[in-house]
Structure 1
Amino acid sequence: MSRTAASRTVLLLFAIVLLSTGEVFSQDADLAKKLSNPIASLISVPFQYNYDRGYGPDDGSRSVINIQPVIPISLNDDWNLISRTVLPVTWQDDIAGDSGSQFGLGDTVQSLFFSPKAPGPGGLVWGVGPVLLLPTGTDAMLGGQKWGVGPTGVVLKQSGPWTYGMLANHIWSFAGDEDRSDVNATFLQPFLSYTTADAWTFALNTESTYDWVKEDWSVPVNFTVSKLVKFGSQPVSLQAGVRYWAVSPDGGAEGFGFRTGITFLFPKK
């Protein structure tokens, strides 16, 4: 089976799961909406799969499973500390010409947001803190072999079924392999989502990165549909969608890719 056919098969199977699994429970629409808030006071463990192709001269491909636990920690009556981790597990093939295949861990991005428990004026939700880049890559082609640090922040508003806002960070490298390129990158993620009364969420975002060293933009645009269901008493969000690379650097991904995911939620009892 070709990769194109395999990709379509995965999307079809996931669509069947989305349409046929679990019961509709409109009372959990608020829980589904919390997933649209990157710093909600909700423990969640997403597993997000992304597939992209068009890398290099040989139409290389990359599959990434991002493991992204979100853990809120209550500091006092007024403030939370939200830990957001992104650990990628990557399989890639010929992403830089005839470069072969690599499989393993990529570099970890660890963000910490200090956020007020109560929304601000007009219902504004915000959080700021540090972001760390950890060189956990298990292969030279899966990670930059650099330690990095910088600021991160998020601001958003939830009004009725709508959620909209922006998450951003900037990372500078400060240590690591001197033979590897320095890291000096800005990440911007504007997002917009709509959650229905029966816990469907339709979301649009970009995950744009500007590399100040190479002076290149990477701009994938993502459209996803997710549904909150229950497996027994365990709430789970299932997600599927498409992505389009509006801008990519030379040798980067091109055209369309896709995204699927499953998120386990652990609301407070």
Structure 2
Amino acid sequence: MWGFRSTLTIAAPALAIALASPAIAQDKSDEGEKSTEELAKEAQNPVAKLISVPFQFQSNYGVGPFHQPQGVLNIQPVIPITINDDWNLITRVITPVISQPKFSPTDHREFGLGDMNPTLFLSPAKPGGIIWGIGPTFLLPTATDNNLGNHRWGAGPGAVVLTIKGPWVVGALVNKISGPSPARGRARMSTR
């Protein structure tokens, strides 16, 4: 039977893809057409001035008391906003779609959305050899099931630093999310 959560689980990723589709029709930039190699490097740069919708799949094995696999598909639309000639604001929202194994013999496998993690990076428009961005990161209690998220608000600082040398993109993206005291029966949340 289709309920609100089932509909939301299907509608939210479809909406994210539909909203990002205008990026396909985007006009050429003033810089001219970019090479495939340049576009590939920008796609790996979380603060590049490039609209992208990367998908990242994680498969975790041996989860829960029955040692079953868990699958997490992170949909991560990145939308840059030009503030002025010197600065860009890069928005990045991670939306996990989770297939969670059962944790007791009477449970069933859960499938749905996890808590969303939007991040804003303030980044120089014309970086040198070191590319960086800093800004706030948030945790939004959007999970469609109790087993798929923390069900708490959270916020904290985020930063990214990287360099591109030849075919290599090397760097780190870090954040620290803190939230209010947990509800009874929930684990304390302090990092992510």
**What TM-score results when the alignment is normalised by the length of structure 2?**
0.76
The aligned residue for residue 38 of structure 1 is: 46
| Secondary structure, aligned partner of 1:173 | coil
**Rounded Cα–Cα distance in structure 2 between residues aligned with 1:46 and 1:162:** 18
Matches within 5 A, 1:1-269: 27-94=35-102, 96-98=103-105, 99-120=107-128, 123-174=129-180, 178-179=183-184, 180-185=186-191, 187=192
How many aligned positions are there?
157
Structure with greater contact order relative to length (CA < 8 Å, sep ≥ 6): 1
* Residue identity matched to 1:124: I
| Secondary structure, aligned partner of 2:57 | strand
Higher helix share: 2
Unmatched 5+ residue regions in structure 2? 1-33
**Rounded Cα–Cα distance in structure 2 between residues aligned with 1:114 and 1:27:** 26
Question: How many Å apart are 1:169 and its aligned residue?
Answer: 0.2
**Rounded Cα–Cα distance in structure 1 between residues aligned with 2:172 and 2:86:** 23
Identity of aligned residues (%): 48
| Secondary structure, aligned partner of 1:171 | coil
| Secondary structure, aligned partner of 2:147 | coil
Question: How many Å apart are 1:181 and its aligned residue?
Answer: 2.7
Question: How many Å apart are 1:73 and its aligned residue?
Answer: 0.3
**Rounded Cα–Cα distance in structure 2 between residues aligned with 1:27 and 1:37:** 16
* Residue identity matched to 2:127: P
* Residue identity matched to 2:139: L
Unmatched 5+ residue regions in structure 1? 1-25, 188-269
Contact 1:73 1:80 in 2 (8 A): yes
**What TM-score results when the alignment is normalised by the length of structure 1?**
0.55
Question: How many Å apart are 1:97 and its aligned residue?
Answer: 4.5
Higher strand share: 1
**Rounded Cα–Cα distance in structure 1 between residues aligned with 2:144 and 2:67:** 23
Contact 1:90 1:104 in 2 (8 A): yes
| Secondary structure, aligned partner of 2:153 | strand
**Rounded Cα–Cα distance in structure 1 between residues aligned with 2:110 and 2:139:** 21
| Secondary structure, aligned partner of 2:48 | coil
Deviates more, 1:56-65 or 1:161-170: 56-65
**Rounded Cα–Cα distance in structure 2 between residues aligned with 1:183 and 1:93:** 22
Question: How many Å apart are 1:56 and its aligned residue?
Answer: 2.4
